[in-house]
Amino acid sequence: MTIGFIGLGIMGAPMLRNLLKAGHSAVAYDIVSSQLDAIVAEGAERGASSREVASRSIFTITMLPDGPQVEQAVLGEGGALEGAKPGSLLIDMSSINPLISQKIAIACMAKGVEFLDAPVSGGEPKASDGTLAIMVGGKAEVYEKALPFLKQMGSSVTLVGPVGAGNVTKLANQIMVACNIAAMGEALVLSTRCGLAPDVVFRAVKNGLAGSTVLDTKAPMVIDRNFKPGFRIRLHHKDLRNALQVAEAAMVALPLTSIVQQMLTSLINDGKGDLDHAAIVTFIEQLAGIGMQSVDCPPKA
């Protein structure tokens, strides 16, 4: 089967590699020529535009940074919808505002093209090893068509509701991840201030109620001062912005999300937007005036 793939960044490229490894042929496109060149060298066919990719595929996947880029790639001039044939399927695996997903779905429906929103969680490591969590919004029968190759990119694939539900679920995921990292940062900074080794504290709590995938993945990065991006701060900032926009429309207060969003804004202004979101911890460190090294616990007042 030939699968179209648009967007070959830190997540898209490894996702496409897993489809190629599974035996699919693929036609790919990215506005960054070097990224396209790299995946063509690994066996994908070169597409000249989003329109051409869709015209040569029954299934077309988009994996792009945010809603405006998805709208341009799908609905814009030379976009995928211009080339998509009636009866074909477009799957947007980007993390975007669910209202944009629904807008694109309506445009696809008018042309007889099926649509799913299927954002992912797990960052570059899980994109590389094919164990992403994929949250899908759309019709059940369309989901069943896509399920076999979605499983080649993710170890967990769940239909969560109609179009837009995938991205609502992803926003919920991103809220929990961001607040979890921030809470982990406060805990480790407090432990460090009190003279404890953060790696020892991590090992002590990871198998208790505080344990989580976030803790297991991000605490070692923080302790090792490894902020090579698996998921960039600026992209998490975008996700929380979308969550807050949806929350405003739904009249839902998200106080913790709002606070962490302000942390991310500060980090971006401090030149850290392209670091891994584990670097949220550095905001807490800066407030405390310490790094991740053991110091004496201050005496009680």
Q: Rounded distance, CA 193 to CA 291, Å?
A: 9
Buried b (16+ CB within 10 A) or exposed e, 171-209: bebbbebbbbbbbbbebbbebbbeebebeebbeebeeee
Q: Rounded distance, CA 137 to CA 132, Å?
A: 16
Q: Rounded distance, CA 109 to CA 114, Å?
A: 6
Q: Rounded distance, CA 16 to CA 128, Å?
A: 9
Inter-residue contact 200 to 213 (CB < 8 Å): no
Tell me how long the chain is: 301
Q: Tell me how many degrees the CA angle 75-69-55 measures, rounded to the nearest 5.
A: 45
| Radius of gyration of the chain from its Cα atoms, rounded to whole angstroms | 21
Q: Out of 170, 218, 238, 272, which one is annotated catalytic?
A: 170
Q: Give catalytic status of residue 126 as yes or no.
A: no
Buried b (16+ CB within 10 A) or exposed e, 5-17: bbbbbbbbbbbbb
**Tokens, residue 167:** 């991205």
Distance of CA 24 to the CA centre of its chain: 23
> Among 67, 22, 30, which Cα is nearest to 46's?
30
At how many degrees (to 10) do helices 213-223 and 165-193 cross? 50
| Residues annotated as catalytic (active site), given as ranges | 170
